[in-house]
Amino acid sequence: MNKVILAYSGGLDTSVAVSWLREQYEVEVVTLTVDLGGDSLRDNVAQRALKAGASRAYVVDGRDRFVRQFVWPNLQANALYQGVYPLATALARPLIAQLLVEVADRERGDAVAHGCTGKGNDQVRFDVAVHALDPKLEVVAPMRVGMGLSREEEMRLREYTESIIIKDVRSEERLLDEVSLFLHRVVGDMPAKKRQVIVNLHDSDTLFRNKSVLVVDDDMRSAFALAKLLSDRGMHVTKAEDGKKWWQKSLK
């Protein structure tokens, strides 16, 4: 591996990943930042990448391509995430992966990298899309293969899990919950007694059941998704785009 094309957001994780890739693999790092709209593009992102150690920084305006090749076909197909609401972030990952492959081809890179962790679906979207487009490219995920805590650091940190306080958490139950997330521990792997503490902590269905709630959001996709979530927990849900108008109407 000689040259890596890194999907670069300009945030802390991917900025650290530039130097980590260079030190860990002794490779040249080229960054790719894709503007997909929504004012998410950070100012001076190319300069930031170069300052972090990248040899070259690409900033690509992918808005038109994103809308024409991904968003519009998705709307035409009425593709819904879990049958509930239109796909959003998931649509962007294949395009970013495609652009990574194109830049890798232009730069004669032999690997691409992304900042996804070992949890969630984004890592799968990147990995599968890249390998489908160019099976020869290696995919590196720094957050998944060592840029986080070392085994020794994790073991040392676990020694304090019975006494440390995170985010001013004072209760034993909340402390256990926060620490489990902080250490990326799978709840299912915990001792039965501690696992039950977290299960009880998050069993809020009894608090929701048979209660009435008004969901107000001018984005009805979000309102519908939240309403479904609450309905599944036994709540009586009413949806409205304008809370004030709904309240005035209910008083009549």
Residue 33 and residue 134 in one domain: yes
Residue 47 and residue 122 in one domain: yes
Q: Identity (one letter) of the amino acid at 202?
A: H
Torsion from C-alpha of 234, 238, 241, 245, nearest 10 degrees: -150
Residue 136 and residue 163 in one domain: no
Q: What is the DSSP string of 146-215?
A: TSS--HHHHHHHHTTTTT--STT--SHHHHHHHHHHHTT--GGGS-HHHHHHHHHHH--HHHHTT-EEEE
Whole-model pTM?
0.59
CA-CA distance, 191 to 193, in Å (whole number)? 6
The domain in which residue 218 lies consists of 206-251
Residue 197 and residue 243 in one domain: no
Which one of 184, 203, 222 terminates a domain? Answer: 203
Domain count, the chain: 3
pLDDT, tens digit (0-9, with 9 covering 90-100), for 152-210? 655 554 554 444 444 444 454 454 544 444 444 455 566 676 666 656 555 555 556 67
Nearest to 122 by CA among 4, 1, 9, 220: 9
Contact present, 57 and 45 (Cβ < 8 Å): yes
Percent of the chain scored above 70 by pLDDT? 68
